[in-house]
Amino acid sequence: MLITLTCAMPNAPDIGYVLGKHPGSIFMRQFSAGTVWVYYPHVVDEQVTVALLTEIDPVGLVRGPAALTQLDQYVNDRPYVASSLTSVALRVAFSSALAGRCEARPDLVGRSLHWEVTIPALNCDAGADLITRLFTPLGYEVVAECLPLDARFPAWGEANLFYVRLTGEQTTQAALSHLYVLLPVLDNAKHYYVDAQEAAKLLAHGSAWLTNHPERDLITRRYLRYKRPLIQQVESSLARLLAKDDEAPETVDELATEEPLKGAHDAEPHEIVQVVSALEAPTPTETEHDMDAVEAVGKAPVETVAIETAKATVGEPPEQRLHDLRLQAVMEAVRASGAHSLVDLGCGEGRLLVLAITERSLTRILGIDVSSTALARARRRLHYETLSDAQQRRIQIALGSLLYRDKRLEGFDAAALVEVIEHLDAPRLGAMERVVFGLARPRRVIVTTPNRDYNIRWAQPDQPAEAVRLRHGDHRFEWTRAEGRAWADRIAASYGYTFEQRELGPSDPDSPEIGAPSQMFVFDLG
């Protein structure tokens, strides 16, 4: 599936800065449903065309349960039509441009440019009319031509497929966000689990233009796959934004993370968090272990299964045992600091909290997570309802985000971030750093994250290290130990901490170059 975007302006190749893709190179990345490439088929001074090519693995998609993939045929149209999978590929390829970030040429980010987008086959169950109704109000001239089912057999009639050309003056971020949100809306079939995070994505990428879009309700309904609680939350959030249009913006104080998120969300970021935290995701949680299950069956079946098999054959510790080791190491580091209070940031289902509650020296414990479903499980795991009043005062569990200043996070001796940071994408990582190390400032911060050096253990024969997939579909990165150290060095220097980097999990003394499966950083306020 190929989408092309053509931009006409003087010095047009400079658009490469905004897209984060050099016109002379080819970008390739594997993602949950296949592979995405970005390249420039046409580059002259006054016009460039950038192509987004996705190769979807149709068999891999089908191997997931129908509930997740909504597909039951190995031979399906997904590789050939623009769909929600193209939208995922778009985000993989152009994440910084979608977030409106471009350090090299910030002047270009806010500039309206002349764009022409061509989609040779777009799936839409509701006719050319809907395509026009969605894109025209956003300032595009729209061409949408229905394609025959098979050009050789006109009697077979027309398909639900359209050749689409969109022409308009748009900022790069706007053009990409329109496609990102509207391709799945037109396709009307998401191929991944729709939960609170999807509502947050819709707001992050759509709120700037959705509030005034005449088809706002239809877009929200179809994007969120008719899930009523999600729709209601997004609608009320958009209505609040609309009401706020005339009011003064929030003060910077109220939005600790305004700066890093400015580009990512044209709307007030706290609105987005409110939605994420207020929502009850109906089925599996977003936590690591459950996501593993969703991921393995629904999103990246072929490769994930391969990794799982490889793991088993080299006799790795089962993930659960490794996680127990991690948690014990973290508790040991808490104990060693003499901490009396602990905040578990991104506590998930409360596995660390269960250990913490048995630690008598801890008189105050708080677990914070953005997923209400995970927190419900944490409560069950701790038998929270049956704890005495005194214990309930001692240990608390609360919805919250690490990306926004939150007074509740302040005043703790120790903080833990266990397998959390790799779930945050780059601009949000900066927000978390400011919130945790800059504002909450616990005396000790313990961070664990995978060690990418170790991933080579899961490589196929002859597969280069860079080609080994990340361990989990929601991981935004996995650092080598050198990358981890560089990050920790920066944190220590910026926020006045010292740190120690440790290996976590069993390692092979004969392979020091790959180390142990996880890495841990223990930061102390200097």
Q: Which residues bind ligand SAH (CB under 6 A)?
A: 286-288, 346-348, 351, 369-371, 374, 401-403, 418-420, 423-424
What's the rounded Cα separation, in Å, for the pair 413 and 163?
60
The nearer residue to ligand SAH, 174 or 516, going by C-beta atoms, is 516
Nearer to ligand SAH, 221 or 377 (CB): 377
Q: Which residue sits closest to ligand SAH, CB atoms considered?
A: 348
In degrees and rounded to multiples of 5, residue 411 shows phi and psi of 85, 15
Give the closest residue to 199 by CA, choosing from 286, 138, 261, 110: 286
Minimum Å gap between C-beta 438 and ligand SAH is 16
Nearer to ligand SAH, 115 or 412 (CB): 412
Closest separation between CB of residue 305 and ligand SAH, Å? 22
Residue 125 burial (CB count, 10 A) = 11
User: Which of 382, 332, 334, 320 is closest to 354 using CA atoms?
Assistant: 382
Residue 418 near residue 448 (C-beta atoms within 8 A): yes
159 versus 399: smaller Cβ distance to ligand SAH: 399
Instruction: Dig out the tokens for 411 from the structure.
Output: 């005043």
Residues listed for the chain: 526
Of 286, 346, 245, the C-alpha closest to 474 is 286
Q: How far is the CB of 310 from ligand SAH (least distance, A)?
A: 23
77 vs 324, beta carbon nearer ligand SAH: 324
> CA 238, CA 217: separation in Å to the nearest integer?
10
* Residue 323 Cβ vs ligand SAH, minimum distance, rounded to whole Å: 6
Choice between 109 and 424, CB closer to ligand SAH: 424
Closest approach, Cβ 457 to ligand SAH, in A, equals: 21
Closest distance between ligand SAH and the C-beta of residue 291, in Å?
Answer: 8
Q: Which is nearer to ligand SAH, 92 or 273 (CB)?
A: 273
Residue 258 or 369: the one with the smaller Cβ distance to ligand SAH is: 369
Nearest distance from residue 402's CB to ligand SAH, in Å?
A: 4
How near is the Cβ of 288 to ligand SAH at its closest, in Å? 4
Cβ closest to ligand SAH, residue 63 vs residue 262 = 262
For every residue of 198-248, DSSP letters joined together read HHHHHHHHHHHHHTT-TTHHHHHHHHTTT-HHHHHHHHHHHHHHHHHTTSP
DSSP 186: H
Place of tokens 């939005």: 255
CA neighbor of 178 nearest in space, from 225, 122, 105, 230: 122
CA distance 38 to 50: 7
What are the φ and ψ backbone dihedral angles of 501, each rounded to 5 degrees?
A: -105, 130
CB of 401 to ligand SAH, least distance (A): 4
Residues 6+ apart with CB under 8 A from 402: 345, 346, 368, 370, 409, 417, 420, 424, 431, 432, 435, 436
